[in-house]
Structure 1
Amino acid sequence: MERVTLRIPEQQIEAVERMVETGKYPNRSEAIRAAVRDMLEEDRGEQTNSPRTYVKV
């Protein structure tokens, strides 16, 4: 597995931490891996050519 460094707004990290604390995910890394898997699955299933919009916070 490869290590990736990224910057995430504090409020989003806090939300991820809450999911870890409640037992939804075993740790931050697994929560983020799950989010990436979901994004990739969504992208594979998407049938439109319209680009996804991202907002820089």
Structure 2
Amino acid sequence: MERVTLRIPKQQIEEVEEMVELGKYPNRSEAIRSAVREMLDEQTDSQSNENRGWAKV
């Protein structure tokens, strides 16, 4: 796994930390990895729909 350094607005990181405290994610890193996976999945779905020529329902 590679380390990535990024800057996130304080309010957003506080919201991520709140999700961790609520037990939705084990830690900040996993919450951010989950968000990246979701973004990549959406991109893949979007590209698949463009290739089919019809909308996803």
Tell which has more relative contact order, 1 or 2 (C-alpha 8 A, sep 6+). Answer: 1
Q: Under TM normalisation by the shorter chain, which class is it? A: 0.7 to 0.9
RMSD: 0.8
> Which ranges of structure 2 fall in alignment gaps of 5 or more residues?
51-57
Q: Tell me, which stretches of 5 or more residues in structure 1 are unaligned?
A: 49-57
- Structure 1 runs of 4+ off > 2 angstroms? none
Higher relative helix content: 2
> Residue 9 of structure 1: CA displacement?
0.1
Q: If you compute each CA radius of gyration, which structure gives the higher value, 1 or 2?
A: 2
Structure 1 residue 25, shift from structure 2 partner? 0.1
Superposition deviation, residue 12 in structure 1: 0.2
How does the TM-score come out when normalised to structure 1?
0.81
